[in-house]
Amino acid sequence: MTTGRVRIAFEGVSVAFGPPDRRLRVVDDVSYAIHDGEFVSVIGPSGCGKTTMLNMVAGFMQPTAGRVLLDGKPVTGPGPDRGVIFQEYGVFPWLTVRQNIEFGLKLRANRRPAAERAEIARRYMRLMGLEDFADAWPRTLSGGMRQRLALARAYAVRPQFLLMDEPFGALDAQTRSAMQNLLLEVLRTEGKTVMLITHSVEEALYLSSRIVVMTARPTRIREIVEVPFGYPRAEALHEQPEFGRLRSHLRDLVMQEYAAQARQRFAVTD
């Protein structure tokens, strides 16, 4: 489907925590490549190690074995080329909406003159529907607005990658679906290579070009599903028979892995 060059690569990546005698293996020999402009969702049972995979790309942690490559170079730490969106938003409560968006643009790594900063902030406030809240404190915003602010702040420093860890998991169903459409729209105007961690099969199908299904811990790749729908996408996609077919297939896979996880737990406590 995609012919672009490889941007993110997992090469035989394994992760384990803890001392040798009580070693907890989280990721087990995963190899996978994300190409330029792809939207890849990673799904699997909760606690399986999906977030660990994202954290390695973000630069928050290193693999125990294997390599995580970004444009061919091993990831050494976090950087403004990779925008990260967390479920808990991480909006700075002591800064107003505008100041949050400008935060990255005042750092040495990507400093811009004041006029340009203001222009960028205006642009993303408009795009995210926050222009009436420029001087509001985050505590006065709803969950959906906080996540839009987090997106605006991440976009402001012009990252090439968007790494999202359950970004809409804390939102109600309506807000969640509005956020999905907004994300698709923003991505259409400024393409990025996206890695999304989610446990919603529906969300993965609606947003991504490819879905990686992970197994229970220690996690491996269970199956890679190509999503055959083009962009732009609209809500009506949910009603298509092919969408429904893929949804049941993916749900089956995830449920099987949940069952495997439950068996493991039982075996351990027995």
Partner 1 sequence: MGPGVRRAALILLPWLAIVALWYGVHHSGLISPALVPAPHAVAARFAELATGRLPLDILMSTRRVVTGVALGIALAVPAGFVLGWYRQVRTFVDPLVNFFRALPPIALIPLVIVYFGVDELAKTVILFYAAFFAGVIVMYEGISQISPIYLRVARTLGASDSEIFLKVVVPMTVPHMLTALRVALGVAWATLVASELIAAQRGLGALIQDAASFFQLDIIYVGIISIGFIALAMDLALRRLSRRLLAWQERMA
d(CA 231, CA 23): 43
Least CB distance to partner 1 at residue 248 (A): 35
Amino acid at 42: V
Least CB distance to partner 1 at residue 88 (A): 6
Residues 6+ away with beta carbon under 8 Å from 179: 144, 147, 148, 167, 168, 171
Least CB distance to partner 1 at residue 251 (A): 31
Least CB distance to partner 1 at residue 83 (A): 7
Pick from 134, 139, 140, 109: nearest CA to 120: 134
> Which conformational region is residue 29 in: left (phi greater than 0), alpha (psi within -120 to 50 degrees), or beta?
left
Residue 90 or 143: the one with the smaller Cβ distance to partner 1 is 90
Helices within the chain (DSSP H only):
50-58, 97-102, 114-127, 143-156, 173-189, 201-207, 241-269
Least CB distance to partner 1 at residue 174 (A): 25
The residues of the shown chain that bind partner 1, judged by CB under 8 A, are 58-60, 77-80, 82-84, 86, 88, 90, 92-95, 103-104, 106-110, 137-139, 150, 153-154, 157
* β 221-226/210-214 pair status: antiparallel
Residue 75 or 246: the one with the smaller Cβ distance to partner 1 is 75
Residue 83 or 218: the one with the smaller Cβ distance to partner 1 is 83
Residue 171 or 225: the one with the smaller Cβ distance to partner 1 is 171
CB 54, CB 165: distance < 8 Å:
yes
Residue 77 or 113: the one with the smaller Cβ distance to partner 1 is 77
